[in-house]
Chain A
Amino acid sequence: MGSLSEKLKKIGLETSKCYQCGTCSGDCPVAKIDFSFNPRKIVLETSKDAWIDSNLLWKCATCYKCYRCPRDVKPAEVFSVARKILVKEGDRPKVGESFARIIKKYGELSELKLVFDVKGFKSINMTPPTVIWRMFRKGKINIRANKSPSADEVKRIFEIVGGSNGR
Chain B
Amino acid sequence: MEDEKLKYAYFPGCSSKSTSVEYHISTLRVAEKLGIELIELEEANCCGTHNLEDYNEDVWLSLNARNMALAEGVAASVVTICSGCYLNTKKAKMMLQENGTREKINKVLAEIQREFRGEAEVKHILDVLVNDFGLDNLEKFVEKKLDLKVAPYYGCQLLRPPEITEFDHPENPQSFENLLDVLGCQVVDFSRKTDCCGATLTLVDEKIMKGMVKKILDEISKIEVDCISTICPLCHYALESSQFSLNMEKIPVLHATQLVGLSTGLSPVELGLNRNLISTEKVLKKLK
Q: Chain A interface (Cβ within 8 Å of chain B)?
A: 29-30, 32-34, 37, 58-59, 61-65, 67-68, 74, 76-77, 80, 83-84, 87, 93, 95-100, 103, 107-112, 114-115, 118-119, 126-128, 130-131, 134-135, 138-142, 145, 148-150, 153-154, 156-158, 160-161, 165, 167
Contacts and interface: CB of A to CB of B under 8 A. Distances in A.
Given A103-B48, A157-B59, 9 more contacts: A34-B211, A61-B198, A61-B201, A63-B155, A63-B195, A99-B52, A103-B46, A103-B63, A139-B21
A32 B213 CA distance: 12
A87 B155 CA distance: 28
9 contacts: A62-B200, A108-B46, A111-B15, A131-B277, A140-B18, A150-B45, A157-B63, A167-B55, A167-B56
- Which of B14, B196, B215 gathers most chain A CB within 10 Å? B14
A76 B58 CA distance: 19
Nearest to B276: A138
A84 B66 CA distance: 21
Contacts of A130: 244
Contacts of A167: 55-56
B162 interface: yes
B58 A165 contact: yes
A157 B66 contact: yes
Interface stretch (B145-153, B202-210, B251-259): B202-210
Contacts of B156: 61-65
A29 B193 CA distance: 13
Interface in B174-216: 195-196, 198, 200-208, 211-212, 215
A115 B161 CA distance: 28
B212 A165 contact: no
A96 B206 contact: no
B263 interface: no
B55 A87 contact: yes
A130 B66 CA distance: 39
A67 B170 contact: yes
B277 A59 contact: no
A161 B56 contact: yes
Interface string B62-98: 1100100000000000000000000000000000000
B112 interface: yes
Contact of A150 (B44, B51, B54, B204): B44
Contacts of B45: 103, 107-108, 148, 150, 153-154
B278 to A, nearest CB: 9
B269 to A, nearest CB: 13
B53 interface: yes
A64 B63 contact: no
B245 interface: yes
